[in-house]
Amino acid sequence: MSHTSSRAPGQGPLSKHDIAALIARDIPHGSYVNLGIGQPTLVADHLSPTAGVVLHTENGMLNMGPAAHGDEIDPDLTNAGKVPVTELPGAAYFHHADSFAMMRGGHLDICVLGAFQVSARGDLANWHTGAPDAIPAVGGAMDLAIGAKQVFVMMDLFARDGTPKLVSECSYPLTGLACVNRVYTDLAVFDITEHGVSVRQTFGIEVHDLADRLGLPLLTGSPR
Amino acid sequence: MSHTSSRAPGQGPLSKHDIAALIARDIPHGSYVNLGIGQPTLVADHLSPTAGVVLHTENGMLNMGPAAHGDEIDPDLTNAGKVPVTELPGAAYFHHADSFAMMRGGHLDICVLGAFQVSARGDLANWHTGAPDAIPAVGGAMDLAIGAKQVFVMMDLFARDGTPKLVSECSYPLTGLACVNRVYTDLAVFDITEHGVSVRQTFGIEVHDLADRLGLPLLTGSPR
Amino acid sequence: MTARLCADADDAVAGVRDGSTVLVGGFGMAGMPVALIDALIRQGAKDLTVVSNNAGNGDTGLAALLAEGRVRKVICSFPRQADSWVFDGLYRAGKVELEVVPQGTLAERLRAAGAGIGAFFCPTGAGTLLAEGKETREINGRLHVLEYPINGDVALISAHRADGMGNLVYRKTARNFGPVMATAATTVVVQVRETVETGAIDPETVVTPGIYVDRVVKVADHA
Amino acid sequence: MTARLCADADDAVAGVRDGSTVLVGGFGMAGMPVALIDALIRQGAKDLTVVSNNAGNGDTGLAALLAEGRVRKVICSFPRQADSWVFDGLYRAGKVELEVVPQGTLAERLRAAGAGIGAFFCPTGAGTLLAEGKETREINGRLHVLEYPINGDVALISAHRADGMGNLVYRKTARNFGPVMATAATTVVVQVRETVETGAIDPETVVTPGIYVDRVVKVADHA
C-alpha cells in the first residue's frame, strides 16, 4: 500500500477519538488485542461487536466487555486500569502468571500502548520520565511492549512543549528495545521498518513538512 | 527414637505387604503423598481412610481414590501407572506442568519410590540398568526423586543374585543425588543421615549381621 | 498438611515473625485480603518485606501497615498511584526500600518459587533500567534477563470459596495474584467469603488445590 | 485469530509439513488425540519430530505413524513400555532418534515455549546421564540444569468440550499435557467430544482459553 493523505493538508490534526477509530479500523477481524491502560482504551469504543475482536486484560481475562455502569459494577471485575468492566460470552479468567505467559509468549495479535517517545528503531519509552525525584512504577508496560505479535503506539506526535515524540534516540528510560511496529498520531501514521520510519498516512500536513519538524528522514511508498 | 527390632531375630524378612503397611503407619496424618508406580502403590491399601492422607498422582490429580472396578472404570481417570482409579471428595485436577510444579516445588510431604540401588549418601538409582542395549525411559522418576520434602524408598534389601541394593556408591545410572531420606526393606528400615546410614528397625536379623552382609558401616541409636 | 479453618483473621495471621517476607494478593481492591492485612497490623510483626502489585492506596490496608513503619522493603510493579501518598512520603524520606519489577516478571518469579525453578531467562525488561546489574544472555537472537524466584514466608490472599480441604475457587478478575502467591510461600493464609463441605467444589474447577493452603478464615465481604 | 470448526479430522490436520515438530497430547490413552493421529497418518507428512509422553503402544496411533517411517525423532519421557514394540524395533535398528526428558521437565519446557521463557534452571536430573552436555549451575546450594523450550509447529490434543471461541475444558486426568501443549505450538488442533455455543462454558472453568486454539473438530468418542 502506498502513502495516502486521508484528509486534505490544512484540515488539521486528528482528535484522540479519530486516532482511536483509525486504529480500530486497522485491527483485523478475530484479533486478540490488549489495549493497556489510559488513552488506548478508547479504541474499544470504536470496535464494532461484529469485528470479532477479543480483548485481553492483563489482570486475568479474555473477552472483556465495555465499562460497567450502575448495577453492572462488580468489584471483582475490573480492567488493568482498575476500572469496573463487564464480561462478554466466551470470556475466560486466569491468574496473573498465566495472563502474562499469554502475553510474553506472543499469543496476542496486537497491543496498543501510549508513549512518551518512540525511536526510529522502534524503541519505546513510556514508563518513566527519568526525573530524579520520580518514583519508578512500571506495571505491565514492559511485558506489553515485548509480548504482542504487533505493538501499536497511540500518541500525539509532539509534546506540549513542541518537541517531537518520534525521535532518532529516546532520551527517556526505555520500556523495550525495537518493539514498536506502528505509531498512530494526530498528524500521521508511521510504520517502523528495518529500513527506517515509513509514513502510511498524514492528516493535514505534507510529508516533507513532517520530516522537517521531526528532524527525521521519512520513507514513503510501500511499507514492508 | 532408638533402634528397635520389631520382630525377634530369626522371624524372617517382611513381605511386600508388610513393608507397605509399615510405611503406611509412618505417614503422618494429613500428609500429601505420591506413591509413584509399581510396588509402592501397595502402600495405598494400608492407608486408613481416617488417616487423612491425600494421594497425588503426577498425571494431574490430588485426592486420588482406590483402583476402579467394574462400572467405576473411566478411561479419563487413571493413575501414573495408567491403571483406572477413582476420585475422592475434595479431589482436584490440574495439567501436567502444574502437577510437576507442585512436585518440583517441594509441596508434597512424602514420595515413596522403588529402587535398583540407594547409596549411603542417599543417591537413588531406579530408572536405568545401564545395560548397553536398554532403551532409556525415565518417566517421572527424576522429578519424584528431587521433589518431595521426604523421599522414602521401598525395596528388597538384596537383589535376586544376593548383591546388596543399599551400597556405598551406586553402580547403576543415577536418578537423583542425595535425595533419599529413608529406606524400607524386607530386612530393615534405614535413615540416610548426614553422618551415615542409621538403622531404625530390623526384621529377623541382627545389626552386626546386616552390616556384614551389606559391607557398610551402620549407625544405631538416635537418627536425626 | 491439610488446611486449618481459623476462628478469625487474628488467629489466621498469628505467628508472623519480624523480618518476614509477606506476599499480599490483589490488584487494586480486587482480590485484596483486607481483613488479613488489618489483622497483620494488629499482630505487630515488623521489618517486613511486602511483595504485592501495588504499594498501598489511601490510608488503609497496606498503606496503614506502611504508615506504622512496619515495612522495610516493598517489591512491586506499580507503587505510584494517585492515592499512594503514604508510600510516596516514606520513599522520598528514604524510610522504605523499593524494588520495582515488571508485572509479568513479578508473577513469573512467584511462580518459579512455587514450581521449584532455580532461575529463568526472561525477555521482559531486557536493555532497560530494570535489568541493570542483572545477568543477561542472548537466546535465539533475543536478549533475556536472568530472573530469580521470590519466596514468601507468608502469603495473604483472598479467594471466593474454600472447601474443607482448602481447595479454592476465585471470582472473576479477583483471581489475579492469588493462585501464584499460594504456591510461593511457606505459610499460606486465605480469607474467603464462604466455606463449603469437602466435595462441594467440582474437582474440574478447583483453581488452588488445598495442598497449597495452610489456613482459611471466613470473613464478611466488605465489597 | 479465533478458532475454526473443522468438518472432520482430515480437514483439521491439513497442511502439516514434512519436517514439522508435532506435539501429541495424552498420557497412556487418557487424552490421546486418536482421531487426529489417524488423520495425520492419512495426511502423509514425514520426517516428523514427535513430542509426547510415550512413544506409541501396540500397532495403532503413534505406533502406526512410527511404523510408516514418518518419524525422524521422538522426544518423550517414557518410550519403553510393555507394548512399545514398534518404537523399540525402530530404535534398535537406528531408524529413529530418541531424546529422553524427565516428565516434569518435558511439561515445563513446553510451558516455557508457550510462556516466552528463553530457558530455565531446573533441579530435576542434575548430576544424572540426562544432564550430560547441558549447562549446570549451583543456585542456593542446589545443582540445576539449564533447560530450553520445546516449540511445536503443530499440536494435536484431545479435550472434552469446546465452545465457539475455542475455549476448552477437559475431563479428569485426560487433561494432562493438553493445556501446556496448546500454548506451545504455532497451530493447535483439538479433537473434542462435544461442541457448545459460545457462552455455554462458565468463564471461571475454562482451562484452555480460545486464544490458544486454531482448529477444533468434533469426533465420536472411541472410549
Q: How many angstroms separate the CA of residue C24 from the nearest CA in chain D?
A: 22
Is B206 a known active-site residue?
no
Sequence ranges of the domains in chain A:
4-58+93-214
**Chain C hits for A146, Cβ within 8 Å:** 123-124, 126
Q: How far is CA C194 from the centre of its chain?
A: 21
Distance (Å, rounded) from C-alpha B13 to C-alpha B186?
5
D117 touches chain C (CB under 8 A): yes
Containing H/E element for C104? helix C103-115
Q: Are A109 and A149 in contact (CB under 8 A)?
A: yes
Residue keyed to cell 480469607: C191
- pLDDT reading at A224 higher than 50: no
D114:A105 CB<8 A? yes
Per-residue pLDDT at D86: 96
User: Any idea what the Cα angle at residue A190 is, between residues A186 and A194, rounded to 5°?
Assistant: 160
Residue A37 DSSP class: S
Contact between chains at A58 and C104 (C-beta distance less than 8 A): yes
Q: What is the mean pLDDT of residues D179-195?
A: 98
pLDDT of residue D223: 40
Residues A111/A143, Cβ–Cβ less than 8 Å: no
List beta partners, residue D144: D137
- Which positions ≥6 away from A45 have C-beta within 8 Å? A17, A20, A66
Are A30 and D1 a contacting pair at CB < 8 A?
yes
Closest Cβ–Cβ partner in C123, C148, C172 for D118:
C123
CA distance B204 to B220: 16
Query: Cell triple for residue C205?
Result: 474447577
CB pairs under 8 A between C and D: 64
Is A104 within 8 Å of C109 (Cβ atoms)?
no
pLDDT band, very low/low/confident/very high, at D182 (cuts 50, 70, 90): very high
Residues of D in contact with B96 (CB under 8 A): 27, 103-104, 107, 176-177, 179-180
Q: What is the domain count for chain C? A: 1
Going residue by residue through chain C, which has 223 residues, state the pLDDT in tens, using 9 for 90 and above. Answer: 679 999 999 999 999 999 999 999 999 999 999 999 999 999 999 999 999 999 998 999 999 999 999 999 999 999 988 889 999 999 999 999 999 999 999 999 999 999 999 999 999 999 999 999 999 999 999 999 999 999 999 999 999 999 999 999 999 999 999 999 999 999 999 999 999 999 999 999 999 999 999 999 999 865 4
B129-140 pLDDT, tens per residue?
888 888 999 999
Is D223 contained in some domain?
no
What sign has the CA pseudo-torsion B38, B39, B45, B46?
negative
User: The domain containing residue C154 runs over which residues?
Assistant: 4-218
- For residue B129, the model assigns a pLDDT of 85
Least Cα distance to C116 among A42, B145, A68, A115 occurs for B145
**pTM for the complete prediction?**
0.96
Tell me whether B87 touches chain C (CB under 8 Å). Answer: yes
Whether there are 3 or more C-beta pairs closer than 8 Å between B and A is: no
Contact D157, D190 (CB under 8 A): yes
* Minimal C-alpha gap between D206 and chain A (Å): 6
- Per residue in A184-221, pLDDT (tens digit) is 999 999 999 999 999 999 999 999 999 999 999 999 97
What pLDDT score was predicted for residue B193? 96
Average pLDDT over residues A75-95: 96
Residues (pLDDT < 70) of chain B are 1-11, 222-224
Specify if C148 maps to a domain: yes
Residue C19, C-beta contacts closer than 8 angstroms, at least 6 positions apart: C47, C48
The pLDDT tens digits for D90-148 are: 999 999 999 999 999 999 999 999 999 999 999 999 999 999 999 999 999 999 999 99
- Whichever domain contains C207, its CATH number is 3.40.1080.10
Measured from the Cβ of residue D69, the count of other Cβ atoms closer than 10 Å reads: 12
Tell me, yes or no, whether C223 lies in a domain: no
- Helix C103-115 vs helix A96-104: angle between axes, to the nearest 10 degrees? 120
Q: Which residue, D48, D101, D109, is CA-closest to D78?
A: D101
Give me chain A's average pLDDT, please: 92
Does a structural domain hold residue D137? yes
**What is the pLDDT, as a whole number, of residue D80?**
85
Q: Is C25 within the bounds of a domain?
A: yes
ipTM of the predicted structure? 0.96
User: What pLDDT, on a 0 to 100 scale, did the predictor assign at position B10?
Assistant: 46
Report which secondary-structure segment, H or E, holds D122.
strand D119-122
Enumerate the residues of chain C whose CB falls inside 8 A of the CB of residue A37.
none
Cβ(B176)–Cβ(B170) under 8 Å?
no
Q: Return the CATH superfamily for domain A4-58+93-214.
A: Glutaconate Coenzyme A-transferase (3.40.1080.10)
Q: Could you write out the three-class secondary structure of chain B?
A: CCCEEEECCCCCCCCHHHHHHHHHHHCCCCCEEECCCCHHHHHHHHCCHHHCCEEEECCCEEEEEEECCHHHCCCCCECCCCCEEEEEEEEEECCHHHHHHHHHCCCCCEEEECCCEEECCCCEECCCCCCCCCCCCCCCHHHHHHHCCEEEEECCCECCCCCECEECCCCCCCCECCCCCEEECCCEEEEEECCEEEEEEEECCCHHHHHHHHCCCCECCCCC
